[in-house]
Chains A and B, each alone.
Chain A
Amino acid sequence: MSAATAAQPSARIASAARVRRPAVRTIYRWELRKLVSQKRTYMGFALGGILPLAFVIVQLLRNHQGHRGDSIFFSEITQSGLVTPVLMLIFLSAFMIPVIAALVAGDIVANEDGNGTLKTILTRSVDRGQVFAAKTLAAMTYAAIALYISAAVGTIAGVAAWGFHSIVTLSGSRVSASEALLLIAAGNACYLIPLFAVVSIGVLLSTATRNSAAAVVATIGIVILVYILAQIPGLEGLRPYMLTEQFQAWQGLLRTPTDWTPILHSAWVCALYAAPALFAAYLVFLRRDVAGG
């Protein structure tokens, strides 16, 4: 900016204008654009995609002939490529996908607080509630995309390796390949229920701690803690209400006929985790002093 230019008056900027409040979807869209612009976003996606790919490659290299394991699907790996995404969801749902979700959920508010950009956006024409809603939705969107990337990579790699064939269900019946594909998509959708509960806890910690690393680690820590609690003898009665137990509820879809009981149970149990967490996070976000940066 030269002195000469700076000294030229410009009446274009002076006049005042009424500001029309943008919608939450506008803020949400920009939250997604911010995520898309950051490398760590792709690290999470890569993590979700590499593991199924690695699984398929390793099975191909060891010339997998099928073996018996905890799940009926272990013996079916080479029978249909569509078994791979099912197995991946069984493997990754307990820990890896929640970790990927926590990476963004724990960071989404705290990062902006630490960088001072929270004050930048909160001094525009948006209310705090709108910003909070957009950030929460963005964190949930990220978790969902990461999950479906993992499922898509598992499906594509599995089908490429072992073909697009029917699979056997947990009830022992067989479903066609196209039906299996729908079940895989629906199973992942059901898994989103507990995953969104994890995201809600992450958003709360991100809002309350104002520290990205602490929030991410604490979110993962809570998942591990609940998992350990669920294994302690004597606490069996609490197990149906523990968040980690809900990670397998989607398997009700893989029974014939479909067993909706675990899915419905998961829905209300997860709501008990998610709703208070989000409500508390909302209150904290609304009332907090933005003094960082």
Chain B
Amino acid sequence: MTQINLTVDGIKESAEVEPRVLLVHYLRENLGKVGTVVGCDTSNCGACTVHLNGESVKSCSVLAVQADGCEVTTIEGLSQNGKLHPMQQAFHDKHGLQCGFCTPGMIMAAVDLLKENPNPTEHEIREGIEGNLCRCTGYQNIVSAIQQAAGQSTGGAA
């Protein structure tokens, strides 16, 4: 067992974990942060994406011990004071989700994308979310949502 200390969604956490435990399993099983989901076991789908020190990572491909001393933000820590984050609001406005299973990872990846590139082209958005799979939407409305969050005009509502 290894001792880790980290901050998750603003709360200080301390735990003894097996070195092999994945960050996503630590979040879900130890902390009950079930907003972050597991969609695959091959780091293909991106549904488990969270921010590690502000950068998006697939939490199924990070060991919990690697997050020692880090600040982790999950989908549950994104909205502040009961108000949706602009990216969450944009996904709602643009119908950027259907079943919602990919949504936490998709939103966390998109927030990081705009941090790196605040004004991406549509092509850059599509490239930016290539690590996240969605089965329902066909991606068009996700792209529109990210454009809205970037302050770009996207024509009519979805």
Answer yes or no: do A and B interact. Answer: no
Q: Interface on A for B, CB 8 Å cutoff?
A: none
